[in-house]
Structure 1
Amino acid sequence: MREFIPPAARFIDLPAPFTMRRGGKLAGARIAYETVGRLTPERDNAVLILTGLSPDAHAASHPADTDPGWWEAMVGPGKPVDTDRWYVICLKSLGSCKGSTGPASPDPATGEPYGPDFPDLSMEDIADAAAHTVRALGVDRPACVIGTSMGGMSSLSLLARHPRLARAHINICGAASALPFSIAIRSLQREAIRCDPHWNEGRYDQADYPQRGMFTARKLGMMTYRSALEWDGRFGRARIASEDHGDGNGHRDQARCALDPAAGDPFGHEFQVEDYLERHARRFARRFDPNSYLYLSRCMDRFDLGESCGGTTDEALARIRLEKALVIGVETDILFPLRQQRQIADGLAAGGTDVTFLAMDSPEGHDAFLIDTARFGVPVAKFLTTL
């Protein structure tokens, strides 16, 4: 169990104690962030990006870290979020394992990772930590808050809990509450992790890590991040060639061969789509803390903007005060379906916000904003030029 901190991450300390909405307090907590671009003397050109569950604060390459970021095609000089004009702040959510304080972080009282002793996490806690971070950076009112996926949830909580914090908002594949299907999927992901005997009630370490549980959780996630249309077009019924199980140097991957029908397992991986999910799971599992996955996943399930603010979800959205908003959804998204983005747009408009709503027909599903940047880049760039 360890944190996975981007090399160029910087940190803002949260107030001590930091009181959590559902009970419990944190001492010595911090938020990891990175910035790209230059802040104007007037401090009026900041754009805050709140991420989904798994990305870190490294949204784009910059001199301190030249590796491509998770949104490299969208953020940078001359790109849709143009850092020649905008000062981009990307921060990682409280509760994660990517530098911000979470279950993998050391508890100051013991020196050991919090693990399952980390306080109950809410979207409101993530929002409050983000608000403190922005203000600590000397930005009283960002020009725009951009939230993607889970970041769309935390953005709405931020804007509702901290009135007039930003002038504008871009919500991409976000939601104002969790739907039963999404809750069910995330419940199965958590169950897969918790049923792995190596999870050990959250008291694992890197040597004794719930790898198979994390593999299954990630595969379930990947299945919902994309659409059936993309799976059909990309893989069809193509099968795995026997040489695909090698490492390129004539050596067989024993772990994967154990799943190969030719190696004696009649129910092992046979189709390319199975192999794709396995490879993605292997790349992800050891780079994300299982307890953080559990906490953030449960936090998403419990989020309901109306419940948080009092009243209905539509009423809570209408009380958010913004000058302008761009809300984008994807017609093939099954995890955060299009009706949720339409609800956000309608609710913000009811409160007087000038809203642009776009329904993308991208085949990539929920992850389209990470992949189909040719479609997403144009409206994002156009919207930002109007601020």
Structure 2
Amino acid sequence: MSTARKILKLDRPFEMRRGGVLNDVQIAYETWGDLAFCADNAILIFTGLSPSAHAASSTEDGSPGWWEDMIGPGRPIDTRRFFVICVNSLGSPYGSTSPASINAATGEPYRLTFPVLTVEDIARAGHEVALSLGVRKLASVIGPSLGGMTVLAYCALFPNAARSVVTISGAARSLPFSIALRSLQREIIRRDPAWHEGNYATNEIPVSGMRLARKLGMITYRSAKEWQLRFGRERANSERKPGDPFGIDFEVEAYLENHATKFTGQYDPNCYLYISRAMDLFDLADHGGTVADALKRFGVDRALVMGVETDLLFPIEQQQELADGLKAEGREVQFARLPSLQGHDSFLVDMDRFRPVIAEFLEGAVIK
């Protein structure tokens, strides 16, 4: 069985990790497959910064999902065997409570009154969804990018809630380079005159700031080698606008422009600011004194850690750190070091490398 988006509405206040409380919290999610009688075949997926919970198509929503080639009958995350849950991150604008949501107490969007968001808050919201579906222990918890951080937070908060973990292009903490980059992206948005200290109208968002922030992000999501092989110095097909001496000349510029325009129409700027900062604030060492000690506390039996050699945002050394730390307790740990050219975005596009590794790992999952 596959379903379109559902909403979990919590019947109690949701206390945020860094202070503040959200009332009437709702969490959007989608599911695929059937939950076993013993509820022991569930996989929980956390997303990266940008995607919604629509990770794959379903009978009710046939549009392709952001991980369409990974989830479904006969695919690596096989819905004939597993009950798959994908949650929309708390703070994201695709159905879960976020800065763009209406605060029932005021009748206005939360905007910057939304409490500080952390990766741990996102993990806890996902845990609430699993519990609401009758799942007490997951077969696996999986996530790429921000989702990779979130599965680490999940295992730190709920050490015995999953039998295995798959972290993809994630990290125990953000490095200074990534923090600096995201800080600049946030400043670009906040410097846009249309931002109005977060009080912009829904039809008058800071478009320029969002476009530039997205372009900067897209540059780092891929590798320089891929840019060279994919675009070289190919000239853009579109004609330059009259009177614009510094318009688009190269195809790589047109590519960035297209992606920035598409993203700007979909994502709320304040949500972007909150989730971006949550990635910078996360540090797995907060759950044990050191990263190594935090990893020791994970109750999982098996782990798959995947990284890409060309990743600028989460360098391969960070995935090596996770694999080494998880191995310390004698767990079955697989470290997949992939030579993909597509950098941080490889998990979305280099399916020929990612599918076999994930499929093999999940084939070994024990359903009790």
Structure 2 CA distance for aligned equivalents of residues 340 and 34 of structure 1:
30
1:317 maps to: 295
2:363 maps to: 385
2:245 maps to: 266
2:304 maps to: 326
SS at match of 1:81: coil
On the 8 A contact 1:145/1:170 being kept in 2, the answer is: yes
Matched, 1:306 2:285: yes
Tell me the alpha carbon deviations over residues 243-290 of structure 1, each in whole angstroms, 9 at most, x when there is no partner: x35xxxxxxxxxxxxxx3x62222222111011000000011010000
Superposition pairs for residues 201-212 of structure 1, below 5 Å?
Answer: 201-212=197-208
1:121 maps to: 117
1:234 maps to: 230
TM-fit CA distance, 1:206:
2.5
2:326 maps to: 348
Q: Moved runs in structure 1, 4+ residues, more than 4 A? A: none
On the 8 A contact 1:14/1:129 being kept in 2, the answer is: no
On the 8 A contact 1:14/1:133 being kept in 2, the answer is: no
SS at match of 1:270: coil
1:374 maps to: 352
Equivalent pairs counted in the alignment come to 363
Tell me the alpha carbon deviations over residues 86-116 of structure 1, each in whole angstroms, 9 at most, x when there is no partner: 1110001111101110001110101211111
On the 8 A contact 1:321/1:351 being kept in 2, the answer is: no
Say which of 55, 61, 70 aligns to 2:57.
61
Q: Compute the TM-score of the two structures, normalised by the length of structure 1.
A: 0.92
1:336 maps to: 314
Matched, 1:172 2:151: no
Say which of 15, 21, 27 aligns to 1:25.
21
2:127 maps to: 131
SS at match of 2:89: coil
TM-fit CA distance, 1:58:
0.5
Structure 1 CA distance for aligned equivalents of residues 198 and 165 of structure 2:
37
On the 8 A contact 1:321/1:352 being kept in 2, the answer is: no
Structure 1 CA distance for aligned equivalents of residues 214 and 47 of structure 2:
17
Matched, 1:198 2:194: yes
TM-fit CA distance, 1:16:
2.1
TM-fit CA distance, 1:142:
0.9
Say which of 207, 213, 222 aligns to 2:209.
213
Say which of 207, 217, 223 aligns to 2:219.
223
Structure 2 CA distance for aligned equivalents of residues 86 and 192 of structure 1:
42
1:47 maps to: 43
Tell me the alpha carbon deviations over residues 2-55 of structure 1, each in whole angstroms, 9 at most, x when there is no partner: xxxxx9311112352111111110000111100011111111111110000010
1:248 maps to: none
Identity level (%): 55
Structure 2 CA distance for aligned equivalents of residues 15 and 121 of structure 1:
20
SS at match of 1:75: coil
Counterpart AA for 1:293? Y
1:37 maps to: 33
1:257 maps to: none
Tell me the alpha carbon deviations over residues 157-196 of structure 1, each in whole angstroms, 9 at most, x when there is no partner: 0111111100001111011111101001101110110000
Structure 2 CA distance for aligned equivalents of residues 15 and 360 of structure 1:
44
Say which of 86, 91, 96 aligns to 1:90.
86
* Unmatched tracts of structure 2, length 5 or more: none
TM-fit CA distance, 1:321:
1.7
On the 8 A contact 2:44/2:142 being kept in 1, the answer is: yes
Q: Compute the TM-score of the two structures, normalised by the length of structure 2.
A: 0.97
